[in-house]
Amino acid sequence: MALRIILGLGITVVMFAIAGRRFFWLYQLLSSGHSAVPSRFGDVPKRAEAEVVEVAGQKKLLKWTIPGIAHFFTMWGFTILLLTIIEAYGCLFQEDFHIPGIGTWNWIGFLEDFFAVAVLLSLVTFSIIRLKNNPKTKDRNSRFYGSHTGAAWLVLLAIFGVIASLLLYRAAQVNTGNFPFGWGAFASHGLAKLLEPLGTGVNSVIVTVALLLNIAIITGFLVFVAYSKHLHIFLAPINVAASRRPRALGALASTPDMTLEDVGEDDEPVFGAGRIEDFSWKQMLDMATCTECGRCQSQCPAWNTGKPLSPKILIMDLRDNLFANADRVMARNREAGQEVESLIGSVIDPDVLWSCTTCGACVEQCPVDIEHIDTIVDMRRYQVLMESDFPPEANLMLRNVENQGDPWGLGGSKRTDWTADLDFEVPVVAGTIPDDIEYLYWVGCAGSLDERARKGTQATARMLKRAGVTFAILGPKESCTGDPVRRLGNEYLYQEQAQKNIETMSAAGVKKVIASCPHCFNALANEYPDLGADFEVIHHSQLLSHLVAEGKLTPGGGYKGTVTYHHPCYLGRHNRIFDEPRSVIDAIPGANQVEMKRCREKGFCCGAGGSRMWLEENIGTRINMDRTGEAIDTGADVVSTACPYCMIMLDDAVKANARQDDVRVMDVSQLLEESMNELAGVGASAPVATEEPAADE
């Protein structure tokens, strides 16, 4: 007994010392990061809800069904089996030890054995999944491509060792008469039947050996976790609690005022993240928390079309760099003037950085709430603002926004041209918006300047007019919201654009805004408030859905056919507006709506976001071709959407597939209007032969 106590406690002390030293080092390293913006300590009720739903309830993982269920039982298995750890240490000192009060309750024994068996079955499931998705055979098609698969197998083996040694010593305890539970502990009693012929003496030895083995594996596993990717076992609850609630999507993290008025002569301001020490503590926590599960990778449109960007590998590479340079990061040597090589080019390939569409699929799928987009955009900010190093084709777009207020460089005088084809006058705000006007219609650059997008704008205006909704536009005073330049990394130009627009709208007394472009909608509703804006913003698909529901717009039988709806990333994943556009289509009597395989939260990007609309796409297949091919495969004769960027990208791909004669790309407003016309094809959806400004012009 004495030897058992000495060995058990000795193993524990050594392993805890090693693991404790590592965890203290990690704390020092991660706390060396800059402050996270916004603060991650407010809104406690929502953060507590996230812990219950995402950590305890495993909501994100359960969307993956079989692996999700297996992970659920493993996580809860080890939570319940904490009782057996208490029992194991008690057995070091007392052979018939049981937890006071509950240690002989039969249902406790049942729970312990049930979850022990459930964990073993989960291990079998994980093994099958890893064998089926072996990156050596599936290459890039495996979500484990680039992950540390060897470490994963060691973890499965360690977990098996914990459960096997647990059941073994419990079974031997049954045969020595020291087991506190009855047949509720079914697995222990079942295994005991197999060991019974060995006799009491041998079973007594098995108890000691298996007990010490159980403690050694558990404490050894703790050390292994501290030094491996399985840190997420301890860090995931912290990372989930520290994420931007209710989800890490929508607005980019706020950034400091870029006027530089408070920067002294001897200070060198650093915008974005060019070196590992430039990241916030939350971004560093993201890096350390990554589970390498590859769910982000499997959903990423860039990765799925042959681009080099894997959100998982990007985070892993940054984590490796963080750990490799931990001493410098903790010493804050960058502030002492030490020259440090930029991450871009040395750690992160430029093609990786610029492939991101900021669609949010990675953040949506991540079970531990890693905020990949903020990290990517921070590196872009550094490249643009500190290094002046970005794809050369973006130069024209940036100059156009800065000089003309739109990416095409057409200027404010063109912003009212779309109204010429309407049979009613659209008021243009000259001073203050009149009291009898309810909404400012924020048309957006694409909606007012691109011919294809204009048709959706015109249809929306006609629907609003028909429903009796009063609205006005800013016309020449409207300027780019700054979304494309912000996602590209030019935070300075974004803030200039945003502040100018906020001043214009505030001076006009604007209170309520309709936006047709999800990118404009997201900027106005989620990002402008950081700079002082206070407007109520609604997307046109939301308003149309409301008007249809109230009976102010009644869809007719002007359209009959099959419709598949492409969900814009900045409307769906980023802002959770999934149902309203679909409800408009569902209300059309002749519309048969079919879903693409990748829809709603798993919807696939059109390829335009993240300022990618203005960049060349020379690597892999074009994202819009991939998405449009999926839409065409549904057999639909209309691909509907609610975003002018998506309309442009999908329409380009339809034409590239030579399917423009039998597949139309239409905004939901166009489809609604066509249904209300007496003859199909009359109105906003009628073909218009015009010359369109190209995205890269």
Domain-embedded: residue 244: no
According to the model, what pLDDT value does residue 44 have?
85
Q: Of the candidates 322, 353, 386, which is a domain's last residue?
A: 386
One-character DSSP codes across 674-687: HHHSSSTT-STTS-
Within this chain, do residues 147 and 190 fall inside the same structural domain, yes or no?
yes
Within this chain, do residues 173 and 317 fall inside the same structural domain, yes or no?
no
According to the model, what pLDDT value does residue 149 have?
86
Tens digits of residue pLDDT in 570-611? 999 999 999 999 999 999 998 999 999 999 989 999 999 999
According to the model, what pLDDT value does residue 51 have?
87
* Dist. CA 481–CA 658, nearest whole Å: 34
Q: What secondary structure letter does DSSP report for 386?
A: I
Annotate 649-677 with three-state secondary structure: HHHHHHHHCCCCCCCEEEEHHHHHHHHHC
The yes-or-no verdict on residue 684 having pLDDT over 60 is no
Helix (H) or strand (E) holding 125: helix 106-132
Tens digits of residue pLDDT in 624-647? 999 999 999 999 999 999 999 999
* Dist. CA 532–CA 103, nearest whole Å: 59
Within this chain, do residues 329 and 431 fall inside the same structural domain, yes or no?
no
Name, in order, each residue with C-beta under 8 angstroms of 373's C-beta and a sequence gap of 6 or more: 248, 249, 252, 356, 358, 360, 362, 363
Within this chain, do residues 96 and 188 fall inside the same structural domain, yes or no?
yes
Number of structural domains in the chain: 3
Domain-embedded: residue 577: yes
The yes-or-no verdict on residue 265 having pLDDT over 70 is no
In the sheet that holds 664-667, the strands lie side by side as 591-594, 561-565, 638-641, 664-667
Instruction: Kindly report the pTM of this predicted structure.
Output: 0.90
The yes-or-no verdict on residue 525 having pLDDT over 80 is yes
Exposure b/e, 142-156, CB count within 10 A at least 16 = b: bbbbbbebeebeebb
Within this chain, do residues 473 and 445 fall inside the same structural domain, yes or no?
yes
CATH number of the domain residue 346 falls in = 1.10.1060.10
Mean pLDDT of 402-411: 94
User: Residue 474 in contact with residue 430, Cβ under 8 Å?
Assistant: no
Tens digits of residue pLDDT in 321-355? 999 999 999 986 555 556 788 999 999 999 999 99
Domain-embedded: residue 6: yes
Domain-embedded: residue 602: yes
The yes-or-no verdict on residue 78 having pLDDT over 90 is no
Confidence of residue 260 (pLDDT cuts 50, 70, 90): very low
Tens digits of residue pLDDT in 438-452? 999 999 999 999 999
- Angle 599-656-516 from CA coordinates, rounded to 5°: 50
Mean pLDDT of 5-27: 93
Percent pLDDT > 90 in the chain is 73
Within this chain, do residues 173 and 129 fall inside the same structural domain, yes or no?
yes
Report residue 265: phi and psi, to 5°. -65, -35
Domain-embedded: residue 39: no
| 366: number of Cβ within 10 Å | 27
The yes-or-no verdict on residue 38 having pLDDT over 80 is no
Within this chain, do residues 307 and 452 fall inside the same structural domain, yes or no?
no
Query: Could you tell me which of 696, 259, 342, 271 has the C-alpha nearest to residue 490?
Result: 271
Q: What is the largest CA-CA distance in the chain?
A: 98
Enclosing domain of residue 656? 396-676
According to the model, what pLDDT value does residue 267 have?
54
Tens digits of residue pLDDT in 47-58? 888 889 888 888
Query: Could you tell me which of 691, 632, 620 has the C-alpha nearest to residue 660?
Result: 632
* Dist. CA 122–CA 75, nearest whole Å: 10
Within this chain, do residues 220 and 285 fall inside the same structural domain, yes or no?
no
Confidence of residue 679 (pLDDT cuts 50, 70, 90): very low
Mean pLDDT of 390-401: 95
Name, in order, each residue with C-beta under 8 angstroms of 212's C-beta and a sequence gap of 6 or more: 4, 7, 8, 11
The yes-or-no verdict on residue 668 having pLDDT over 50 is yes
Within this chain, do residues 328 and 440 fall inside the same structural domain, yes or no?
no
Domain-embedded: residue 59: no
| Top-confidence range, 74-78, 134-138, 264-268, 538-542 | 538-542
Q: What secondary structure letter does DSSP report for 105?
A: -
Q: Of the candidates 206, 227, 248, which is a domain's last residue?
A: 227
Within this chain, do residues 127 and 173 fall inside the same structural domain, yes or no?
yes
Within this chain, do residues 223 and 344 fall inside the same structural domain, yes or no?
no
According to the model, what pLDDT value does residue 263 have?
41
Domain-embedded: residue 493: yes
Between residues 113 and 101, which one has the greater pLDDT?
A: 113
Mean pLDDT of 508-519: 95
Question: What is the residue-averaged pLDDT of the chain?
Answer: 90
Task: Give the three-class secondary structure for 23.
Answer: helix
Confidence of residue 4 (pLDDT cuts 50, 70, 90): confident
Domain-embedded: residue 315: yes
The yes-or-no verdict on residue 688 having pLDDT over 60 is no
According to the model, what pLDDT value does residue 338 have?
63
Tens digits of residue pLDDT in 226-246? 998 888 889 999 999 988 866
Within this chain, do residues 436 and 313 fall inside the same structural domain, yes or no?
no
Confidence of residue 215 (pLDDT cuts 50, 70, 90): very high
According to the model, what pLDDT value does residue 258 have?
59
Helix (H) or strand (E) holding 472: strand 471-472
Q: Of the candidates 363, 386, 409, which is a domain's last residue?
A: 386
Helix (H) or strand (E) holding 8: helix 2-30
CA dihedral 404, 407, 412, 414 (to 10 degrees): 130
